[in-house]
Amino acid sequence: MEIIRSQRKPVHIDVVPTLPLYRSAPPLEVRLEDFELYAMDRLRVLKGIADGLSRGKKSEEMKNLADHLWKANMRHLDASEVVNKDIISHFVLRLVYCRTEDLRKWFLSMETNLFRYRLLFEKAEVQRALMAEFDLPYRAASNAELESVKEGLKQVAQSFGQPLAADAIFYKVPFEEVPELVAGRRVFIHKGYAYIAMNQVVSLVSTQFRSHLSKALILTNRKWTSTIREQEKDRLTPIVEALCSSYLGPDYSQPREFAEISIKDIDQIAKSSFPLCMRHLFEKLREDHHLKHGGRMQLGLFLKGVGLKLEDALAFWKAEFSQRVGSERFDKEYAYSIRHNYGREGKRTDYTPYSCQKIITSAPGVGDHHGCPYRHFRTNLQYKEFLGALATNIDGVLPRSASWSNQLFICLRSKKNIHMRMYLTKFILLYQLLMHICSKV
Amino acid sequence: MTKEEIENGTADMEIDQRELMNGERSELNAVPDGFNANYLKVYYGKLFPHADIFKWMSYGNDGKHPGCDESYFGRREFSFTLDNDIYLRFQSFNSVSQLENSIKEKCPFKIDIGPVYSVDPAKRHAYAQSGNNVFTPVEKELVFDIDMTDYDDVRYCCSGADVCLKCWTLMTIAIKVIDPALRDDFGFNHILWVYSGRRGVHCWVCDPKARRLTNEQRSSIAEYFRVYKGNENSQKKVSLTSSALHPFLLRSYKVLEEFFEGNLLSNQSLFSTEERYEKILEMIPDESITSELRGKWQDNKKSSISKENINVDRWKHVKKILKSGKQKGQGLGKCVEEIVFSFSYPRLDMEVSKHMNHLLKAPFCIHPKTGRVCVPIDPNHCEEFDPTAVPTLSKLLEEINMGGLGTDDDAEWDRTSLGKSIRFFRSSFLQPLLKSCKEEIENSYNAKLQHSKTSLTW
């Protein structure tokens, strides 16, 4: 792509009646302003998808949401420019999101989801054209063939809890081409051929898309670090880096930004500043002198994230657990994993605290206290218990660059409005925590 | 007796033969049970079907057709386990006589068959240097290994290395579930089932498509067959979560149910003691149901139900209560099926099937611990297979002794109990396989000719 400052020459590319696969950057010329604007529009779409997923929307809802977001953000006055915008925005965001592992993972996930939802809306011919693009050798099964395997197809559909549509299209493929579907027993196989349903084809095409994009992102990163960043340091690089930090996800790679918490402060801070999920875990720990694994991970990593040092963490957990299992057992069975969380054991990864998204989508079981109270607590009694402790009159604006802002918003908006006050309070609690910590610096 | 004594004794034995009736075992013919190098030498000298193994492993590439790949057999890895556990890998041979001579000379206690590599394994070091992965497996049969010890938690008649007719039913079930699926679902035709010599069965799928499967594809087939997931820590090891079963599971269930109710219930006495029925009650996630059943059965000591029927009756209770739908508890939907699957569904060794470079024991080897021959099993009559009646090394040697001198050397195996197995191997597996291989070689050769004719340009 050529980025030019001044007036642009209109470039017409053939409008292809399929979804772009973003295989290679097309020879387009882009205005510098459009470079940023297109990217931001697309980012809104991707963020919207991320938001919808973390609220646990089902795939039918997500499909419609993606469609809505796309139409709302990715239009262009000039109809012939629509495809260009699509392609350009994708490639700009590649630059922005290729630079770290976390960014790549997020971008890959959201772009693949976007691709999948858009594909579901396309006509069968478009889907087939895309299959051909990826060299996937699928052939639609004839009516006669379908007749002969009808019973089996019905049974497989029933095993997903779905009825078999009368006019359902199936693709007949050698079974070895679709190992994941075979392994999961998600297709009917007969005499060496697997009969694949339409939505499974979409899934397979998306998998191909994902794997191509994954490789492309790595290459883009290399190019960025080796040449582009330096070359463009007066022009594109500042835009790329700004785009990133406005929407950056959690960045715990610099724990030194935060001041430390010490054990003697911890009760006080828990009451005044912990978010509800952590507060609950903390209280349960004090009460039971024990937490199950999910709870230990969620609370433990959170404490690490807000600055509890390893020695203090060990002392803190030991003080609680030894009241229940004895200090010897603590040393033997629990101390190792605390050190592991801090990156002192095993493969020495310095684990980051869980994001709200991860907490919300976790699955606490019997005897667990982790998870997100707004999602996992079942009785109003539990909600009421927490209401008692909430402060309600603090206003304030969370600084835009605070790291947890995005997750907060997602969490806050994840339930119905009657709980708005609580959400606001959680927002505020977290803000307070930040302020509290920052003020100590 | 030593080999010399056996051989020298034949003259005397010939005379005594006439005094024997119907091949009765006499003192002179008797060969003590055992497994040792001397016995093996005779076995490899007179009985082991070298030529058949060679023909099989050549897959039609016998040099008779211009389309044959003459390097094919030479790229196959064999491995020998010698006496004293000396292990020789990457053995390869270029002809049947090389194979035969090496076996006779080295007298391996076990012969394993590995993959066909891109180059002769003997030359692998030369290619390893280039670092291009030039030495790599290119073909290997799709194999399955089912071992009785994986079922120790559901069989009470034996444990560990022992096997009897009662628990052998589990192997019969495995064959009856896996074999039809390989043929009907996956479309494979050239399948060989073999007794492993002690407590399990092996399956060799030899179609060209099967031999060329990648590790990922093999893995997906193994996963397709996997239902049992768990260890001693998981409470429920079979979890059939969906509302309806996949057609493969539905079909398999018919077989499982038939054997579970008609055989395993009684032979394994699954409900006869508290310890045993508690194990089944553990799989039912509903307290009210399990306590109702428990109560009923603890009272049973007074009842008139005979010991024989206790298992069948109690299973009837379980089924009735679970299917009655009275208690709409969670997880009860497929509980009956889960119990049946837990006790009878085949348990494959996943690792064996997943990797192309896995080495598996060759058919017609002798198992060192039991002395039994690894004979083929006919899947269509697998219910009749009796592992305790499989010929042993010593028995075969006795049978050779009884044959006497002056007989045709080439067909000595035919006059022993091994004859039946070798004939079965040839007629039901080897011949159809070779016929199909020849056809494939011809077709692909003709296709190449056609292609080169049409693509000639000047």
d(CA A111, CA A217): 12
Instruction: State residue B80's pLDDT score.
Output: 97
- pLDDT band with cut points at 50, 70 and 90 for residue A17: low
Please work out, in degrees rounded to the nearest 5, the angle formed at the alpha carbon of residue A154 by the alpha carbons of A151 and A156: 110
- pLDDT band with cut points at 50, 70 and 90 for residue B8: very low
Q: Does position B231 have pLDDT exceeding 50, yes or no? A: yes
Instruction: State residue B411's pLDDT score.
Output: 77
Please work out, in degrees rounded to the nearest 5, the angle formed at the alpha carbon of residue A60 by the alpha carbons of A55 and A66: 70
* Percentage of the residues of chain B whose pLDDT score is greater than 90: 59
d(CA A218, CA A100): 10
Lowest mean pLDDT among A40-54, A119-133, B70-84, B319-333: B319-333
DSSP string for B185-214: IT----EEEEE-SSSEEEEEE--HHHHT--
Name every chain B residue with its beta carbon within 8 A of the beta carbon of A175. 185-186
B208 or A257: which carries more pLDDT confidence?
A: B208
Of B184, B217, B244, the CB nearest to A159: B244
Q: Does position A387 have pLDDT exceeding 70, yes or no? A: no
State mean pLDDT over B199-220.
Answer: 95
Instruction: State residue B445's pLDDT score.
Output: 93
Catalytic (active site) residue B145: yes
Instruction: State residue B148's pLDDT score.
Output: 92
- Which range scores top for mean pLDDT: A236-245, A409-418, B18-27? A236-245
B310 or B41: which carries more pLDDT confidence?
A: B41
Residue A162 sits at the chain B interface (C-beta within 8 Å)? no
Residue B358 near residue B349, CB atoms below 8 Å: no
CA distance, residue A162 to nearest chain B CA (Å):
10
pLDDT in tens, B139-164: 999 999 999 988 988 899 988 888 99
pLDDT in tens, A96-146: 888 888 888 889 999 999 998 898 888 777 777 787 787 776 778 888 888
3-class secondary-structure state, position B91: strand
Instruction: State residue B418's pLDDT score.
Output: 95
State mean pLDDT over B107-133.
Answer: 86
Amino acid at B319: K
Amino acid at B56: W
Catalytic (active site) residue B153: no
d(CA A183, CA A190): 15
pLDDT in tens, A399-434: 222 333 344 443 444 332 223 334 444 444 454 455
d(CA A207, CA B251): 31
| Cβ-defined contact of B219 to A182 (cutoff 8 Å) | no
Per DSSP, B372 falls in state B
State mean pLDDT over A303-313.
Answer: 85
Lowest mean pLDDT among A65-69, A352-356, B63-67, B179-183: A352-356
Catalytic (active site) residue B216: no
Centroid of chain to Cα B295: 43
d(CA B300, CA B278): 15
Name every chain B residue with its beta carbon within 8 A of the beta carbon of A185. 224, 246, 248-249
Lowest mean pLDDT among A233-247, A334-348, B135-149, B378-392: A233-247
Lowest mean pLDDT among A379-383, B75-79, B208-212: A379-383
Sign of CA dihedral A60, A151, A132, A137: positive
Per DSSP, A267 falls in state H
CA distance, residue B212 to nearest chain A CA (Å):
10
Name every chain B residue with its beta carbon within 8 A of the beta carbon of A188. 247
- pLDDT band with cut points at 50, 70 and 90 for residue A185: very high
Instruction: State residue B259's pLDDT score.
Output: 95
Name the residue in chain B with its Cα closest to that of A158.
Answer: B244
Sign of CA dihedral B180, B182, B187, B192: negative
State mean pLDDT over A384-413.
Answer: 36
Write out the two tokens for B133: 């992965």
Lowest mean pLDDT among A306-315, A324-333, A397-406: A397-406
Sheet of B200-205, strand order:
B142-147, B200-205, B191-195, B376-377
ipTM summary value: 0.86
Beta bridge partners of B88: B80
Beta bridge partners of B290: none
- pTM assigned to the model: 0.68
Instruction: State residue A225's pLDDT score.
Output: 86
Amino acid at B118: S
Residue B388 near residue B375, CB atoms below 8 Å: no
State mean pLDDT over A48-74.
Answer: 86
State mean pLDDT over A299-321.
Answer: 88
Instruction: State residue B308's pLDDT score.
Output: 67
Write out the two tokens for A305: 């994230």
Instruction: State residue B407's pLDDT score.
Output: 57
Tell me the residues of chain A between 211 and 270 that have a Cβ less than 8 Å away from chain B.
none
3-class secondary-structure state, position B360: strand
| Cβ-defined contact of A190 to B242 (cutoff 8 Å) | no
CA distance, residue A60 to nearest chain B CA (Å):
20
d(CA A82, CA A19): 12
3-class secondary-structure state, position B98: helix
- pLDDT band with cut points at 50, 70 and 90 for residue B71: very high
d(CA B447, CA A391): 82
Residue A21 sits at the chain B interface (C-beta within 8 Å)? no
Sheet of A193-197, strand order:
A139-140, A170-174, A193-197, A188-190
CA distance, residue B238 to nearest chain A CA (Å):
15
Q: Does position B304 have pLDDT exceeding 60, yes or no? A: no
3-class secondary-structure state, position B77: strand
* Percentage of the residues of chain B whose pLDDT score is greater than 70: 84
Nearest to A152 by CA among A124, A193, A183, A180: A193
- Find the catalytic residue in B62, B77, B120, B286: B77
- Which range scores top for mean pLDDT: A158-167, B120-129, B243-252? B243-252
CA distance, residue A174 to nearest chain B CA (Å):
9
State mean pLDDT over B241-255.
Answer: 87
Q: Does position A10 have pLDDT exceeding 60, yes or no? A: no
State mean pLDDT over A29-50.
Answer: 86
Name every chain B residue with its beta carbon within 8 A of the beta carbon of A164. none
DSSP string for A319-344: HHHHHHH-HHHIIIIIHHHHHHHTT-
Write out the two tokens for A42: 């697309």
* Percentage of the residues of chain A whose pLDDT score is greater than 90: 14
pLDDT in tens, B183-199: 999 999 999 999 999 99
| Cβ-defined contact of A193 to B221 (cutoff 8 Å) | no
Q: Which residues contact A219 (CB under 8 A, 6 or more apart)?
A: none
CA distance, residue B364 to nearest chain A CA (Å):
30
Report the 10 Å Cβ neighbour count for B8.
12
Instruction: State residue A76's pLDDT score.
Output: 82
CA distance, residue B205 to nearest chain A CA (Å):
13
Residue B374 near residue B367, CB atoms below 8 Å: yes
| Cβ-defined contact of A191 to B184 (cutoff 8 Å) | yes
Lowest mean pLDDT among A35-39, B203-207, B420-424: A35-39
State mean pLDDT over B432-453.
Answer: 92
Chain A interface, best mutation among B205, B209, B220, B235, by max A CB count within 10 A: B220
Q: Does position A391 have pLDDT exceeding 50, yes or no? A: no
Lowest mean pLDDT among A358-362, A377-381, A397-401: A397-401
- In three-state form (DSSP H/G/I as H, E/B as E, the rest C), the secondary structure along B213-256 is CCHHHHHHHHHHCCCECCCCCCCCCECCCCCCCCHHHHHHHHHH
Q: How many CB pairs under 8 A join A and B?
A: 61
Write out the two tokens for A315: 């002392």
Q: Does position B249 have pLDDT exceeding 80, yes or no? A: yes
d(CA A230, CA A237): 8
- Find the catalytic residue in B147, B150, B257, B442: B147
Instruction: State residue B128's pLDDT score.
Output: 67
- In three-state form (DSSP H/G/I as H, E/B as E, the rest C), the secondary structure along B385-448 is CCHHHCCEHHHHHHHHHHHCCCCCHHHHHHHCCHHHHHHHHHHHHHHHHHHHHHHHHHHHHHHH
Only one residue has tokens 């996937």, namely A136
Name every chain B residue with its beta carbon within 8 A of the beta carbon of A176. 209, 213-214, 217, 220
Phi, psi for B117 (deg, rounded to 5)? -95, 175
Residue A363 near residue A310, CB atoms below 8 Å: no
Nearest to A321 by CA among A282, A288, A299: A288
| Cβ-defined contact of B247 to A156 (cutoff 8 Å) | yes
Only one residue has tokens 């969620």, namely A298
Tell me the residues of chain A between 168 and 197 that have a Cβ less than 8 Å away from chain B.
175-176, 179-180, 182-185, 188-193
| Cβ-defined contact of A185 to B248 (cutoff 8 Å) | yes
Instruction: State residue B326's pLDDT score.
Output: 57
Q: Does position A57 have pLDDT exceeding 70, yes or no? A: yes
Instruction: State residue B325's pLDDT score.
Output: 65
Name the residue in chain A with its Cα closest to that of B186.
Answer: A192
- pLDDT band with cut points at 50, 70 and 90 for residue A159: confident
B189 or B400: which carries more pLDDT confidence?
A: B189
| Cβ-defined contact of A158 to B221 (cutoff 8 Å) | no
* Cβ-based interface (< 8 Å): residues of B facing A: 184-188, 209, 213-214, 216-217, 219-221, 223-224, 242-250
Lowest mean pLDDT among A263-277, A404-418, B124-138: A404-418
Only one residue has tokens 């017409």, namely A12
